[in-house]
Structures are given as C-alpha cells and as structure tokens.
Chain A
Amino acid sequence: MIEGTGWLKGFVITFRNMLRGPITVRYPEHKLTLPERSRWAVQQRLNDDGSPRCTACLICVKECPDDVLYIETSAAEGGGKHIDRYVYEIGACMMCGLCVEACPFSAIEMSHEYELATRHGGDLVRVLLQDVDAASPRRERKGEADA
C-alpha cells in the first residue's frame, strides 16, 4: 500500500458497505426467530387437559435469587394441595432460568415472550395459576417417565 492512501481505501470500504444493504430489520413487521434456548418470561406448562403440572412443591420459590415467585396454597378437598395463587412478579425477574432448571416436574418453562413493555404497573405482576388443584407429585413424575 502506498503511504498516504489509507484514507482512500476507507472510502472504498464504506462504499462497499453501502452496497451491502441494511442488516437491521423493521421490527414490529419483521421479527427475528429466537434460538430455542432463549430465556424470557416464565410460563406454566399445562397438561393436555388444561390442568397444571405444578405440584406446589415450592422449589422454584426457594430457588429464585430475586424472590419473584410466590405460591399461596391451601389443603385440597380430596387431600393434596390446592393452589390459590401462583404469582410471578415479572417486573423483578431477570430471566436467569434457575427456577425452570430446578423444577423437578417440568411444570414451568422459559417462554419466548419478549415483548414485555407495558403501560400499566399492574401488568408487572402476573398470576400464572389461580384456584386450581395442584398436580400430585407421583402422577407427574410418572408422566415425565412416559414422555
């Protein structure tokens, strides 16, 4: 390279890039696909019949470093646990995925729901389950083995 022509080469490179076209996308119209492991808002996994897989064992609650999960339980009529509310404070969640890792029943998962901006403070606390009977731990374990 001749000394003193470096800046000219810069012009060539920027021009080449001008021809390459944009790498950005127009966001709401075009969305990029997320990798399968992407961690976003926590959500419940339900059985095919719509019943929760959660057994209210509270492992996720204890596991969460930021205490964003909260489960209120009571005794169910036919024995076992009844979930009054499964509360998820998404506003304080950092999507680390430790709760999902810890769950022995695969009852929760990290969803790909990433459009989480909201105008209402109330949306920052979600009730994932309300007033349902918790799954029996034994049945769920078995279900895992079948799958």
Chain B
Amino acid sequence: MSDEPVTGVQSILPEGTQPTPMLPKGLKRVPSGVDQLATEHLILNVGPQHPSTHGVLHMLVELDGEEVIAAEADIGFLHRGIEKLAESRRYHQMGTILDRADYVSGFHTETAFALATEKLAEIEVPRKASWIRSLVMELNRCASHYVWLGPVGMDAGAMAPFLYLMREREMILDVLEAISGSRMMFNYVRPGGVVRDLPAGIDAPLRAWLAIADKYLGETEDLLGGNEIFRARMKGVGVIAPETALAFGMSGACLRSSGIDFDLRKARPYCAYGEIDFDVPLGTVGDAFDRYKVRVEEIHQSVRIVRQLLDGMPEGEHTSKVAKALRPPAGEVYAAVESPRGELGIHLISDGGPTPYRLRLRSPAYYNLGVADELLAGGLIADMIVSLGSLDIVLGEIDR
C-alpha cells in the first residue's frame, strides 16, 4: 500500500477489505464517499415500516448530515402475484383481485379491465352503464385524492387536515358502499356493464356530499396551501422537469403538474367523459406544491363532473347480456383509464379460453415512483419525505 492517505469508501471499510466491485455506481449499499470534513456518510433504511413511506416501501438513503446524497427505492414488499393470479380467474371474477391492486381506487382498475374485455369480446355497453362507471370512478378519484391530500399534510406535520378529509371521504365511501356493497373492494364493474343498477335513494347522500365538498375542501386548502409554513415546505421541492417526467413515463397529476397536458379522459375519452364538461388543471413548475394544487383542483373538477353525471343520468339497462362463462376470441388488446395516479392500463391477451392468457397491469404509480432516485437526491430528509409523498404512490399497485 502506498503512503497516500486512504480516502473514500476505503477509509470506512475494515482494513484489508476492498469495496465489492460488483456494486454498480450509485448503488448505495455502502457509503459512496466522505466529504472534505472527513465525516462519514450515513446509510439510512427508510421503511418498510416507516410512517411516511405510504405503505411498505423501502428507501435506501445516503445521508451527509441531514442532506440526502442519494436515494433508491426498493419495492416488492406487497407483491401478491396479481398478474399471475389473473391467469387463473374467469373474466367476471377478475374484479376481486384487481380491486386489491390499487386499493384506494378500485373502480379504475375494474373499469380498465372491463373496457379491455369489452374491446376483446366486442361487447356493447349500455349508455347507463357507462355513466354509472364514470360516476363511481369520479367519486373514487375524490376519495383517492382525499386520502392523498391528508397524508401529504401529515408528511409536512399537519395532522388536522387528514382527519377533516377523512370526514368527506367517509361520505363518499358510504355512497360507494351503498352502490356496490363494499367500501373499497367493490367488485362492481363487470365486462358488459355493472352488477346492479344504482340503488334507490342514492341521490340524497350524494347531493349531501356535493353540497359540502367544495366548501370543506376550501377549508383544507386554507389549512394547507394557505399556510405559509406548508408553502415553504412544498415550493421548489421535488421539481420534475417536463422532459424528466416524459422520460420516466410518468402520467397523471405528476405529469400534468410539470405542465404537460395529457389526461386520458380528454385525450381518449371513454365511458361518459366525451359528453361531460370539465377542465384539466395544469401546473407550471413541477414542484411538490404544483402537484398539490393540481390534485386539489382535480377534486373540484370531479365534483363538477359528478354533478353533471347525476343530473344527466340516463335511463335504461345497467348491463348488457354477457355470458357468465365468457370466452373472448383469441387476441390482444390494451385499454387504459385515467386513474387518480395516471394512466392505468390493462394489456390483455386471450387464447380463446375462459381465463386470460396473460394480463398485464400498467400501474401508473410504478412509473411515477421510478423518478424517485432522481428526485430525492439533493434535498434534506424533510424534503425527501414531502417529495415522496407528493408522488402519490400506492404500493399495492406498484408491487401488484
């Protein structure tokens, strides 16, 4: 060994050992270096049992003091093999597992699958079924955004908005339970339509929610976005440039907050969205605050959509006649919906049998989380938590 002072990784490894050459650059199992003050970098395991990883996400974070030098998302703790299980389920049974993929907005996955199957088997969907689907999807979008907005406030240290948003979410879940029979695992949208018609008397609780939704959300906006501390925490944090967003295949509010106008409801209208009037909010900077603003505005727009859907709900059948043992012809289709997290696609391959040959779920949060490694480095621990929260990840959907 030469007389040169030992620096870098060498200085903290036991004498005589070499850093494992197998480690690719940027993988943070060992500290990548020491700074000029010769202080050791810290490797911190954030999660999978951490209050702010929004599920069972594991983050490997390299810290210099409080500053995040590098971060890496480690997923897979909630893998249940949904795509493989789908290969042994008949088409009308699929809702039971797809609900469990994105467990905060099950209707979107269910509808995406129904749309794919209908495309494959060339099933005509009654107009009313489409409208009911849109209705429940928009309600579900609000519920999902509520349960994003609350925890993001908690990430920033504000506990109260979370509970206030739960109040509104509870109203929506009650409605969804009255419609579908379950609060989250709906199993309601099927190829050909929906299982049952809207129940009688669903109008009243829905209108009750519509009456307070904008007002109460406004209160939450004052509590979070109107608060100077919250703004200081969110502004300029976790900036995603439009090019980065596109390069990582991001979609949904994360993409729109970077200023790119892409919403499947407008770009490729499905269900009732072609007949509905609504705006797609866009961000300018692409920071965490923009993502907050875009999502809050999306709730306001969803309220608008629900109001229109409710007023114009057509009469008619809620489903078309579909064989129980559906055997779509052999073929391959892709159908996508705009879930609260982005483009949720189902790629379905059939070999003509009673179960799909292959089902692939394009889960938007998986692509949105991909940007984490880029996004989190350079901030403080507190920034990391807020940026990660602002992506709106749902681990059930990421790990599948």
* A–B in direct contact per CB < 8 Å: yes
Roughly how many angstroms separate A10 CA and B92 CA in the complex, as a whole number? 48
Answer whether residue B226 sits at the interface, using C-beta atoms and an 8 A cutoff. yes
How does the 8 Å CB contact mask read for B63-89 relative to A, with 1 for contact and 0 for none? Answer: 000000000000000000000000001
How does the 8 Å CB contact mask read for B157-195 relative to A, with 1 for contact and 0 for none? Answer: 000100010010010001001111110010100000001
Residues of chain A with a CB closer than 8 A to B179's CB:
37
- With beta carbons under 8 angstroms apart, the residue of A1, A7, A13, A35 that contacts B174 is A35
Cross-chain contact A98 with B181 (CB below 8 angstroms): no
Cross-chain contact A37 with B178 (CB below 8 angstroms): yes
Cross-chain contact B187 with A17 (CB below 8 angstroms): no
List chain A positions with a Cβ less than 8 A from chain B. Answer: 1, 4, 6-7, 9-10, 13-14, 16-17, 23, 34-39, 63, 65, 94-98, 101-102, 110
Roughly how many angstroms separate A16 CA and B160 CA in the complex, as a whole number? 12
Q: Closest B residue to A59 by CB, please name it.
A: B324
B contacts with A: majority SS: helix
Interface size on B, residues (CB 8 A): 31
Answer whether residue B308 sits at the interface, using C-beta atoms and an 8 A cutoff. no
Cross-chain contact A37 with B228 (CB below 8 angstroms): no
Which residues 87-134 of B have a CB within 8 angstroms of A?
Answer: 89, 92-93, 95-97
Report how many A-B pairs have Cβ atoms within 8 Å.
69
**A36-B222 contact in complex given A6-B228, A17-B164, A96-B185, C-beta closer than 8 Å:** no
Q: Closest B residue to A9 by CB, please name it.
A: B222
Closest Cβ–Cβ distance, residue A124 to chain B (whole Å): 19
List chain B positions with a Cβ less than 8 A from chain A. Answer: 89, 92-93, 95-97, 160, 164, 167, 170, 174, 177-182, 185, 187, 195-196, 199, 219, 222-223, 226-229, 231, 324
Cross-chain contact B96 with A96 (CB below 8 angstroms): yes
- Which 7 A-B residue pairs are closest in the complex by CB-CB distance? A35-B178, A6-B226, A37-B181, A39-B181, A96-B96, A96-B187, A65-B93
Closest Cβ–Cβ distance, residue B82 to chain A (whole Å): 13
Residues of chain B with a CB closer than 8 A to A6's CB:
222, 226-228, 231
A–B Cβ pairs within 8 angstroms, 29 of them:
A1-B226, A6-B222, A6-B226, A6-B231, A7-B227, A7-B229, A9-B222, A13-B222, A14-B223, A16-B219, A17-B164, A23-B170, A36-B178, A36-B199, A37-B179, A37-B181, A37-B196, A38-B177, A38-B181, A39-B181, A39-B182, A65-B97, A94-B96, A95-B182, A96-B96, A96-B185, A97-B181, A101-B195, A102-B324
Residues of chain B with a CB closer than 8 A to A98's CB:
92-93, 96, 187
Roughly how many angstroms separate A110 CA and B227 CA in the complex, as a whole number? 47
Closest Cβ–Cβ distance, residue A14 to chain B (whole Å): 6
Residues of chain B with a CB closer than 8 A to A36's CB:
178, 199
